[in-house]
Structure 1
Amino acid sequence: MTNLPIRRVTTDVLDVAYHEAGPADGAPVILLHGFPYDIHSYVEVAPMLAEAGHRVVVPYLRGHGPTRFLRPDTPRSGQQAALGADVIALMDALRIPRAVLAGYDWGGRAACVAAALHPGRVAGLVSVNSYLVQDISTAMHPLPPDLEAGFWYFFYFLTERGRAGLTANRRQIAEVIWRRNSPKWSFTAADLDRAAQAFENPDYVEVVIHSYRHRLGQAAGAPDYAEAEAALALAPAITVPTVTLDGTADGNFPATDGSPSAVHFTGPRAHHRVPDAGHNLPQEAPAAFVAAVREVTP
């Protein structure tokens, strides 16, 4: 089992742990993982892109792995504006003026937020499940029963029982989510153990709980991100070249032809369905994910 080596860099808020591969002067690509996963979603994608000549950066998101907050009084926010701001701050710290951003789940949301609010910094976008900017105003609208069932943890985390459960059972909760999200993915206990190391971050529970409570309109956002959240509430268009992906075996997001979110993409865009891939698409179908990154690379 391969473990990706990490480096560290400091932003205004975080000490970010990240993996880097490929030539320093290669076209930059930032790969962003989801919840409850870690950077090893890209354990095959990263070397493939590096071999193709890209500078590949794969950070642990806030609250995950060795990434740490610099100050104890910083709100442990998991809201979408914070995740997007972290991407831009990481680029600043690494002196990357523009990059392709690619991700799924939380990472896809961070990439969409950065692309929507900072298009000049984003050379291209790859997003699993299309447009992932959240509309907080409709957060409590009911979903179809099959989706509500898959998103059980959204509502579980609204409760103090959910906070206690996540604190005590980080790996076990991840396993339940993985099996629902990716019913055709034959992951191993070692795969899950490797990712679960990232959940031992001391801020993991607080960041995750805040993320879902804010998403469902049950927690206030951090003041530093109020302006960005106001802009995101308008569902800003994404203008950068984009490839969106749907796995046909995603347990929570049925694959579409891409048209439901087409209004949100006003630049060049292609949409692909990836056969038999689930929610953790880069780890389940690395070649398809690499092809999508290459498709949007200038």
Structure 2
Amino acid sequence: MWASGQLSCKRRITARAWQVSPMADRRMTQIRSGFDCRSNSGTITSPGTKELGLLTETVEKTRNGAILYDKAIINQISDERFTPQGWMHAELLTGALGSGGRGSTMFVGNVPRQFVLRHYMRGGLLGKLIKDTYLFSGAEKTRPFLEWRLLDKLASNNMRVPRPAAARYVQRGTFYTADIITVRIPGIVPLSQYIADNDPDEAFWNSVGAAIQEFHATGVYHADMNAYNVQIDTDGLTWLLDFDKGRLRKPGPWQQETLGRLHRSLHKIVGLDPRLHFRSKNWEQLLDGYFNASRSS
């Protein structure tokens, strides 16, 4: 029996369970270096380049900061694009879609090209005092630029994450505010909503665990893996959203801690709504998928 908020997986965790296989180790190295290793494309691309044409990432200085963007996705950019008024259509995300992250999040743009605009907001006790400002220590260390570059590497290596379109910071003295725009993934819903609308079977929970293990095997650390940032598409595939403070790391205890955070999140939402389809056996099934994928990688 699982106690609420605890990650009980001692029977599976061994020293070997957290090792990276040679194949995963090569993939981690490729992602760290920024190279796209998809051999079936017939090309090996260097850091910063895209298969979507010859254009590379672009950084444009603004009056009070800078914008980093991919011209292959957004060919014209300005500060206005990071506001609802800069788009013909803007829809604030609320309820199940908007309650997971700390940021103020909106759908912007029109079909066929829609985006997600997110304003960076602080969480926790500090967030009640300082809502959306961060200490500035250089453009490359700003949260949106770090997240943009991580997403760019992961998306270029076929990881199921949103493709970054643009990111900006606005400097105000020694502090800054920030925003990021990513390409909207059609039809995805938070895991929290998916288990409210469906009663997933064992194969589904196995697949969620296997997907998380794929990220861990390549050293991808997600700072806030919860039932909202884990999302499911129309094919039942698992995606990860919101990589603020995410980074690439060597294998270690953080992998178990990330699973523990997700487990606590699932218990929390079930406590709020007992009708959600999540039981102790489902967590066991997720861990089965995770560790089976670890052994086969």
TM-score between both structures, scaled by the size of structure 2 = 0.26
> Larger C-alpha radius of gyration, 1 or 2?
2
Name which structure has the greater RCO, CA cutoff 8 Å, separation 6+. 1
TM-score between both structures, scaled by the size of structure 1 = 0.26
